[in-house]
C-alpha cells in the first residue's frame, strides 16, 4: 500500500538563492569552470533545496525539477529528441547546451513562453526521422542522490501529452500527438525503473490540459493515463495540472487508474471538484498556496476550502498551485521592506511553511495551527487597512476619465495634422528605443549602487551616452531619433521604481530562461506618479538635435505582465491606474516639446488568457488601458507603439484597436508575413515591420533590407510604411549597430528613389 503524503510543492526554484547556478553555468560556458565543478555546484543546490523542503515539513519532495537550462529541454534529452544538428558536439552536456543556445555553427532551439508565465522554455523539434529512445540517467541520478540524503523523493516528469503538444513538428503537417504511441513504451520503461529504485510516487505534469483542448486530444490523454496506470510494476502516479482548470479533461482523467491528481485551486475553481465522483478514490493534491504570486496566504480561508473538499477525495495533501519556480527564494534578504509590506508577502520558503501549516491544520484541527492562522489574519488585516491601497483622488480621476470619450480624432485625420506639424520623408527611418548598453553604462550603474560615484556623476555619464547616441543617429541620417535609454536597467523596473504603489525587491530573482533572471517589481497599492519620470532625458536629447526625438515609455499591460500584481482587485483596475500614470507622462512629454511619443506593449500577447472564453474580456480591458494611456495628447502628437512578436493570432484585432498612429513590430524572422495578417483585419495605420533581426549579431546587407522594404510595399502603401529594426538594440554591440543602421538608411534611400 502506497503511503499517503500530506504536504508538498509541485516544484522548486533552481537557479540558487544567490543565483549560484547562473554564475556556475556561465563560467562553464566561458571555460573557467569544468564539468565536474559545475556538477558539484548543481548537486549542492539540489541538496540545499531538498533539505529546506524537508525541514519545512514537506513530506514528499519533488526531484528532477533541477535543470541546467530548462525542463522541456531535459525532457527532450530524456526522450532522445534533441535535434540532429547537435550530434557533433563531444559530450552530452555540450549537446544539451548547443540545443539551448546554439554554437558558431548550430542554431539553437526556439524559445517560447511557458503558458501565461514569464518563464520561457525551449521548443523541442520533432521530425518524422526522430526516433525516441529513453535516457533515464538524469531522473534516476537525482532520485538516488535524494534517497542517499534520506529524502522522500517524488520524481517529476513532463507528461507525454504536454511534451508533444508543446513541441514543434518539423517536415510534417500532422499533429505530434499522433506519435504518443511511440512515447508510451518509454514512459512505461521509466516507471518500471523508478519502481526498481524504490520510488513510491512519481509526478507527471500535464499543464497543457488546462488550455482549450479538442475532444480528441482529451480522449488521447485519457488513453495515455489508462495505459500508464495499467502497468503493474510502477510507482503511484500523481497526475499534475496547473495554471488553470482541467475543465472537460478532469472527468476523463479522474476515470483513469492514476492514484493522485494535483489541481490548481488558485487559478481554477475548487467547486468543479465536487461533481466528479471518481475523485473519491484518489489522492487529491490541492494547490491552494499560490505558486505564481507573492502574497501571503489567507490561511483561514484556505482551510475552509480544504475542509469542504475533504468529502470529495480519498485523501488530501496540501500543495502550491504550481512549481515555486515562478517566485523568488525567500524574503530573508529583503531588508529594505517596511514592516507592514514585509508581513503581507510570502516567497518560496515562506510558502513551504504555509503549505505545512495548512496540512497540519487539516489533519489536526485549527487549534494546532492557531498561531499561524492568527499571524496570517493580522497580516491580511494590516494590508486591507493600509492607506496606500486606496487613493481616493486617483480613483475619482480615473472614473471621470473613463466616463468620457477618449477624444482623439480618426487616424486618417490625425495623420494630416501630424504631417503638417512634423513633415517627414516617405518611409521614415527610426529605431525602437534602446542603444547598446555599453560596458561604460554597466560600470557606472554598478558604481552608483556601491556608492563609488554619486547621483550627479552618474547622471553626467548617462547624459554623455545620450549625446553619443544622438550624434550617431545624426551621422547615420535617421529621421526620428531616440535618446537610447542608457539610464534604464529594465523597461519595467525603471518605471516601477518611480511610481508610488510599486516596490522593487533587493534580491527577488526569478528565472526567465536559462541563466537569465529577472527581478519583477511588486505592485501592492494604488499607482500614483509623484513626478515626471522621463521628461528630462527626452528634453536633454531633444536639445542636442533639430530632428524629432521620440519620448519612450512602457505601456500599462507590459508593466503589469512583468511585475507581481495585486490580488485584491481585478487586473483591469490595476491596468487603468498604471495607464493613468503613463498618460500623465505623455502629456508632460508633449508639453516639453515631444512630437512623437512611443508607448511599448511587447507583452500584450503574453497576458492573453489560456482559454478562448476568457480572451475577449482581456483584450477589451488591455486595449482600453493602452488607449487611456495614450489619448491624453493632442492629435498633432504622434503616438507610436512597439510589439515584440509577429504571430498575432488572437490579438490581431486588438492591434488595430490600440489606434496608435504607428506600430513597429517584429517581422524580419517571418518575412513580413505579419503585414498580410494586418491587412486581413483592415489595419490602416502606420506600420514599421522590423527589417532586420536584432537577435543576431549579423549585419544585414543593403540589398536584403531593400528587398524586405519592396516586399512590404506590396502590402502597405508607402504613406503608411516606416523603416526600423525588429526591436531595441540594447543587447547588441556598438559596431554592429552602426553598420546595420547605416545599411538600413542606405536601403531606404534606394527604395525611396524607386517610388
Ligand atoms: N523601447 C524598448 C527598447 O528599445 C523596447 C524593448 C522591447 O520591445 N522589449 O529596448
Ligand atoms: Zn521589442
Q: What is the distance between the alpha carbons of residues 571 and 657, in angstroms, rounded to a whole number?
A: 19
Q: Sign of dihedral through CA atoms 309, 314, 315, 319? A: negative
Residue whose CB lies within 8 A of the most ligand 1 atoms, among 437, 491, 518, 559, for a mutation test: 491
Q: In this structure, which ligand is nearest to the CA of 437? A: 1
C-alpha 471: how far from its chain's center? 35
Cell 513538428 identifies what position? 169
Residue ID of nearest Cα to ligand 1 atom 5 = 728
DSSP string across 173-213? -S-GGGGHHHHHHHHHHHHHHHHHTT--EEEEE-GGGGS--
The residues near 590 (Cβ < 8 Å, ≥ 6 apart) are: 551, 597, 633, 634, 637
Please work out whether the CB of residue 727 comes within 6 Å of at least one atom of ligand 1. yes
The H or E element containing residue 596 is: strand 596-600
CB 644 within 8 A of CB 666: yes
Asked whether the beta carbons of 143 and 134 are under 8 A apart, the reply is: no
Cα–Cα distances in Å, from 204 out to 75, 181, 236, 322?
12, 17, 10, 13
Going from the Cα of 479 to the center of ligand 1, the distance in angstroms, rounded, reads 19
Q: What is the pLDDT of residue 404?
A: 86
**Residue 433 CA to ligand 1 centre (angstroms):** 6
In ligand 1, the atom with minimum distance to the C-alpha of 558 is: 9
Question: What is the 541 CA–ligand 2 centroid distance (Å)?
Answer: 22
Q: Which atom of ligand 1 is nearest to the CA of 642?
A: 8
642: annotated binding-site residue?
yes
Ligand 1 atom closest to Cα of 434?
4
The answer to whether 454 is annotated as binding is: no
Q: Are 153 and 142 in contact (CB under 8 A)?
A: yes
8-state DSSP, 313: S
Helix (H, G, I), strand (E, B) or coil at 47: helix
The answer to whether 212 is annotated as binding is no
Q: Please check if 137 is assigned to a binding site.
A: no
Q: Please indicate whether residue 725, judged by its CB atom, sits closer than 6 Å to ligand 1.
A: no
Q: Is 552 in the pocket of ligand 1 (CB under 6 A)?
A: yes
- Mean pLDDT of all residues belonging to the chain: 95
Nearest ligand 1 atom to the CA of 554 is 1
- Span from the CA of 381 to the centroid of ligand 2 (angstroms): 41
Does 434 contact ligand 1 (Cβ within 6 A)?
yes
CA of 644 to the centre of ligand 1 (A): 8
Ligand nearest to the CA of 646: 2
Give the integer Cα–Cα distance in Å for 285 and 288: 9
Residue 554 beta carbon below 6 angstroms from any ligand 1 atom: no
Ligand 1, from 493, 541, 602: best to mutate by most atoms within 8 Å of Cβ? Answer: 602
Cα(669) to centroid(ligand 2), Å: 13
641 lines ligand 1 (CB under 6 A): no
Ligand positioned closest to the Cα atom of 495: 1
Sort strands 638-643 and 596-600 into parallel, antiparallel or unpaired: parallel
Distance 575 CA to ligand 2 centre (A): 20
644 lines ligand 1 (CB under 6 A): yes
DSSP symbol at 505: -
Which residue ranges in the chain fall short of pLDDT 70? 1, 646
Can you tell me the distance from the alpha carbon of 736 to that of 743, in angstroms, rounded to the nearest whole number? 11
Q: Which pLDDT belongs to residue 1? A: 53
Cell 483585419 locates to 681
Whole-angstrom distance, CA of residue 737 vs CA of residue 132: 42
Q: Is 18 annotated as a binding residue?
A: no
Judge whether 562 is annotated as a binding position: yes
Residue 235, burial from CB neighbour count under 10 angstroms (0-12, 13-18, 19+): buried
pTM for the model: 0.95
Looking at the DSSP assignment, which residues form a beta bridge with residue 386? none
Atom of ligand 1 nearest to the CA of 432: 4
| Mutate-to-test residue for ligand 1 from 601, 728, 729, highest number of ligand atoms within 8 A of CB | 728
194 has binding-site annotation: no
Residues acting as catalytic residues: 695
Q: Is 314 annotated as a binding residue?
A: no
Protein residue closest via CA to atom 4 of ligand 1: 728
Rounded Cα distance between 632 and 634, Å, is 7
Nearest CA to ligand 1 atom 1: 433
**How is 399-426 classified by DSSP, letter by letter?**
HHHHHS---PPPHHHHHHHHHHHS---S
- Coil, strand or helix: which one is 445? helix
Cα separation, 562 vs 569, whole angstroms? 17
Question: Starting from the edge strand earliest in sequence, which strands make up the sheet with 638-643, in order?
Answer: 550-554, 596-600, 638-643, 662-665, 686-689
Cell of 640: 507610436
The pLDDT value given to residue 2 = 73
What domains, with CATH codes, occur in the chain?
Answer: 20-328 (3.20.20.210), 420-637+655-664+676-686+693-754 (3.20.20.210)
Cell of 189: 520503461
ipTM above 0.95, yes or no: yes
Distance 239 CA to ligand 2 centre (A): 37
Q: How many angstroms separate the alpha carbon of residue 218 from the centre of ligand 1?
A: 39
Task: Tell me if 600 CB under 6 Å of ligand 1.
Answer: yes
Question: 642: Cβ below 6 Å to ligand 1?
Answer: yes
| Spatial separation of the C-alpha atoms in residues 207 and 698, rounded to whole Å | 37
Q: Which ligand is nearest to the CA of 688?
A: 2
Nearest CA to ligand 1 atom 10: 728
What is the best residue among 433, 436, 667 to mutate for testing ligand 1's pocket, by most ligand atoms within 8 Å of CB?
433
Q: Is 434 annotated as a binding residue?
A: yes
Q: Is the CB of 728 within 6 Å of ligand 1?
A: yes
Amino acid at each position: 500500500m502506497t503511503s499517503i503524503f500530506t504536504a508538498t510543492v509541485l516544484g522548486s526554484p533552481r537557479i540558487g538563492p544567490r543565483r549560484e547556478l547562473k554564475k556556475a553555468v556561465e563560467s562553464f560556458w566561458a571555460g573557467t569552470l569544468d564539468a565536474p565543478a559545475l556538477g558539484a555546484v548543481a548537486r549542492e543546490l539540489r541538496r540545499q533545496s531538498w533539505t529546506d523542503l524537508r525541514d519545512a515539513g514537506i513530506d514528499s519532495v519533488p526531484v528532477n525539477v533541477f535543470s541546467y537550462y530548462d525542463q522541456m529541454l531535459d525532457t527532450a534529452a530524456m526522450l532522445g529528441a534533441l535535434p540532429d544538428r547537435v550530434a557533433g558536439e563531444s559530450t552530452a552536456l555540450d549537446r544539451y547546451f548547443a540545443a539551448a543556445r546554439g554554437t558558431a555553427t548550430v542554431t539553437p532551439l526556439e524559445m517560447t513562453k511557458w503558458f501565461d508565465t514569464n518563464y520561457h522554455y525551449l521548443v523541442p523539434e520533432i521530425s518524422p526521422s526522430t526516433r525516441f529512445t529513453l535516457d533515464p540517467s538524469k531522473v534516476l541520478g537525482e532520485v538516488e542522490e535524494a534517497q542517499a540524503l534520506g529524502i522522500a523523493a517524488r520524481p517529476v516528469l513532463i507528461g507525454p501529452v504536454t511534451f508533444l503538444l508543446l513541441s514543434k513538428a518539423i517536415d510534417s503537417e500532422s499533429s505530434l500527438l499522433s506519435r504518443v504511441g511511440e512515447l508510451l513504451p518509454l514512459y512505461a520503461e521509466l516507471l518500471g525503473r523508478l519502481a526498481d529504485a524504490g520510488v513510491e510516487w512519481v509526478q507527471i505534469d500535464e499543464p497543457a490540459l488546462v488550455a482549450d483542448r479538442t475532444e480528441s486530444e482529451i480522449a488521447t490523454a485519457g488513453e495515455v493515463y489508462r495505459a500508464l496506470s495499467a502497468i503493474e510494476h510502477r510507482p503511484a502516479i500523481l497526475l499534475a495540472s496547473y495554471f488553470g482548470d482541467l475543465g472537460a479533461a478532469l472527468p476523463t482523467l479522474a476515470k483513469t487508474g492514476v492514484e493522485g491528481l494535483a489541481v490548481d485551486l488558485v487559478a481554477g475553481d475548487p467547486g468543479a471538484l465536487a461533481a466528479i465522483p471518481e475523485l473519491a478514490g484518489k489522492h487529491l493534491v490541492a494547490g491552494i498556496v499560490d505558486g505564481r504570486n507573492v502574497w501571503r496566504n489567507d490561511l483561514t480561508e484556505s482551510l475552509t476550502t480544504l475542509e469542504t473538499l475533504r468529502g470529495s477525495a480519498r485523501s488530501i495533501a496540501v500543495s502550491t498551485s504550481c512549481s515555486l519556480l515562478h517566485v523568488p527564494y525567500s524574503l530573508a534578504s529583503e531588508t529594505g521592506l517596511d514592516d507592514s509590506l514585509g508581513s503581507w508577502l510570502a516567497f518560496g520558503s515562506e510558502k513551504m511553511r504555509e503549505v505545512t501549516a495548512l496540512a497540519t491544520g487539516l489533519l489536526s484541527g485549527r487549534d494546532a495551527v492557531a498561531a499561524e492562522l492568527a499571524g496570517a489574519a493580522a497580516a491580511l488585516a494590516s494590508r486591507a487597512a493600509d492607506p496606500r491601497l486606496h487613493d481616493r483622488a486617483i480613483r475619482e480621476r480615473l472614473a471621470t476619465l473613463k466616463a468620457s470619450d477618449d477624444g482623439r480624432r480618426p487616424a486618417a485625420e490625425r495623420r494630416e495634422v501630424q504631417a503638417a506639424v512634423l513633415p517627414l520623408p516617405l518611409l521614415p527611418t527610426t529605431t525602437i528605443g534602446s542603444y547598446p548598453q555599453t560596458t561604460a553604462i554597466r560600470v557606472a550603474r554598478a558604481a552608483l549602487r556601491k556608492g563609488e560615484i554619486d547621483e550627479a556623476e552618474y547622471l553626467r555619464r548617462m547624459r554623455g551616452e545620450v549625446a553619443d547616441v544622438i550624434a550617431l543617429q545624426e551621422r547615420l541620417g535617421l529621421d526620428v531619433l531616440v535618446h537610447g535609454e542608457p539610464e534604464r536597467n529594465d523597461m519595467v523596473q525603471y518605471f516601477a521604481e518611480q511610481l508610488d504603489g510599486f516596490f522593487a525587491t533587493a534580491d527577488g530573482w526569478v528565472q526567465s530562461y536559462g541563466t537569465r533572471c529577472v527581478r519583477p517589481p511588486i505592485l501592492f497599492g494604488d499607482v500614483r506618479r509623484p513626478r515626471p519620470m522621463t521628461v528630462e532625458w527626452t528634453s536633454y536629447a531633444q536639445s542636442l538635435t533639430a530632428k524629432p526625438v521620440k519620448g519612450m515609455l512602457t505601456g500599462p499591460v507590459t508593466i503589469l505582465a512583468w511585475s507581481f500584481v495585486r490580488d485584491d482587485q481585478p487586473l483591469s483596475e490595476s491596468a487603468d491606474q498604471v495607464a493613468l500614470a503613463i498618460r500623465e507622462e505623455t502629456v508632460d512629454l508633449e508639453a516639453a516639446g515631444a512630437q512623437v511619443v512611443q508607448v511599448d506593449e511587447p507583452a500584450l500577447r503574453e497576458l492573453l488568457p489560456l482559454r478562448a472564453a476568457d480572451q475577449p474580456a482581456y483584450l477589451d480591458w488591455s486595449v482600453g488601458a493602452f488607449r487611456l494611456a495614450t489619448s491624453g495628447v493632442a492629435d498633432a502628437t504622434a503616438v507610436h507603439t512597439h510589439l515584440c512578436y509577429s504571430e498575432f493570432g488572437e490579438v490581431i484585432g486588438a492591434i488595430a484597436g490600440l489606434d496608435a498612429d504607428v506600430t513597429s513590430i517584429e517581422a524580419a524572422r517571418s518575412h513580413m508575413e505579419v503585414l498580410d495578417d494586418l491587412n486581413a483585419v483592415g489595419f490602416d495605420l502606420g506600420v514599421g515591420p522590423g527589417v532586420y533581426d536584432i537577435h543576431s549579431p549579423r549585419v544585414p546587407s543593403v540589398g536584403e533590407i531593400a528587398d524586405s522594404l519592396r516586399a512590404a510595399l506590396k502590402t502597405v502603401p508607402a504613406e503608411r510604411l516606416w523603416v526600423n529594426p525588429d526591436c531595441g538594440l540594447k543587447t547588441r554591440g556598438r559596431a554592429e549597430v552602426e553598420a546595420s543602421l547605416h545599411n538600413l538608411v542606405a536601403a531606404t534611400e534606394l527604395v525611396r528613389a524607386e517610388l
